Amino acid sequence: MWTEGSNGVQILINGVQILINGVQILINEVQSLINGVQILINGVQILINGVQILINGVQILINGVQILINGVQILINGVQSLIND
């Protein structure tokens, strides 16, 4: 399943690729680097532009926007997406 926000934000949950502003995020993979920032998924902390992201039932903030994965509400730039609906 995938959804796309008004700003062309493609999200694949359990897919497992997430593209945010053209930045690839891998979930249930090893790690990624965004702007030289280390990203670790699975109960591990993610920092994007100095914003803490936690995945797996935990709150995600991207540019001050709350994202819940397995939560399951996702808001990106004010665009609401429902995952696994």
- Percent above pLDDT 70 for the chain: 0
DSSP state, residue 77: T
Average pLDDT over residues 62-71: 53
Amino acid at 17: Q
Peptide bond into 72 cis (omega under 30): yes
Average pLDDT over residues 38-62: 51
pLDDT band at 52 (very low <50, low <70, confident <90, very high): low
The tokens 């994965």 sit on which residue? 69
Report how far residue 76's alpha carbon sits from residue 67's, in angstroms, rounded to the nearest whole number: 7
How far, CA to CA in Å, does 41 sit from each of 5, 59, 78, 81? 22, 13, 24, 20
pLDDT at 32: 45
- For the entire predicted model, the pTM comes to 0.19
Both structure tokens of 12: 């694949």
